[in-house]
């Protein structure tokens, strides 16, 4: 089962905002995005909970998850769909792809990447495959 790396309390502490009513779902979705970033990272985990055992790693991953959840809420595009278009018109439907190429929207919050890099969990640079 996919671990959820942060709680509603973590989110409120990180953002200084009241968590939205659907925060548990948002944090689960954000945890999926953070797992994408951590795909090749190595750090010790608890085999039962699948959570990091090092307090610094656990804290950084929780903060990155909160950052990812806040970013997805701020851009209003949890699934990366709306960001794919620069213009949308509802009356007689007209959509224009953003960027003029075939790349998709960004999936990862820049601050989440920075948090994980500074914690030593991500080496070098992270390229968002959707935009690369």
User: Mind listing the pLDDT tens digit for each residue in 51-94?
Assistant: 999 999 999 999 999 999 999 998 876 766 655 555 665 677 76
Structural domain includes residue 89? no
pLDDT tens digits for 101-122?
Answer: 555 567 889 999 999 999 999 8
What's the average model confidence in pLDDT over 30-43? 92
Domain that holds residue 58: 8-79+108-118
Residue 60 CB contacts under 8 Å (≥ 6 apart), including other chains: 115, 116, 118, 119, 121
Q: How far apart are the first and last CA of the chain?
A: 29
Structural domain includes residue 101? no
Structural domain includes residue 37? yes
Number of domains in the chain: 1
Give, in order, the Cα–Cα distances in Å from 85 to each of 57, 61, 74, 108.
Answer: 36, 30, 17, 17
pLDDT, residue 10, reads: 98
Query: Residue 13 pLDDT > 90, yes or no?
Result: yes
Structural domain includes residue 68? yes
Structural domain includes residue 103? no
**pTM for this prediction:** 0.78
Query: Residue 37 pLDDT > 70, yes or no?
Result: yes
Residues 45-64: b if buried by 16+ CB within 10 A, e if exposed:
eeeeeeebeeeebbebbbbb
The torsion of the CA quartet 66, 32, 123, 45, rounded to 10 degrees, works out to: 90
Structural domain includes residue 67? yes
Structural domain includes residue 100? no
* Nearest one of 114, 113, 130, 19 to 79, comparing CA atoms: 130
Strands (E), the chain: 85-89, 94-97
Structural domain includes residue 69? yes
């Amino acid at each position: 089962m996919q671990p959820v790396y942060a709680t509603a309390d973590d989110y409120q502490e990180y953002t200084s905002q009241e968590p939205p009513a659907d925060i548990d779902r948002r944090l689960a979705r954000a945890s999926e995005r953070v797992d994408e970033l951590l795909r090749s990272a190595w750090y010790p985990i608890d085999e039962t909970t699948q959570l990091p055992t090092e307090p610094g790693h656990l804290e950084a991953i929780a903060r990155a998850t909160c950052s990812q959840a806040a970013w997805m809420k701020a851009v209003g595009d949890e699934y990366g769909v709306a960001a794919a278009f620069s213009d949308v018109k509802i009356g007689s439907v007209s959509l224009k792809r953003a960027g003029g190429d075939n790349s998709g929207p960004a999936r990862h919050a820049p601050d989440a990447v920075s948090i994980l890099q500074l914690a030593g969990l991500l080496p070098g640079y992270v390229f968002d495959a959707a935009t690369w």
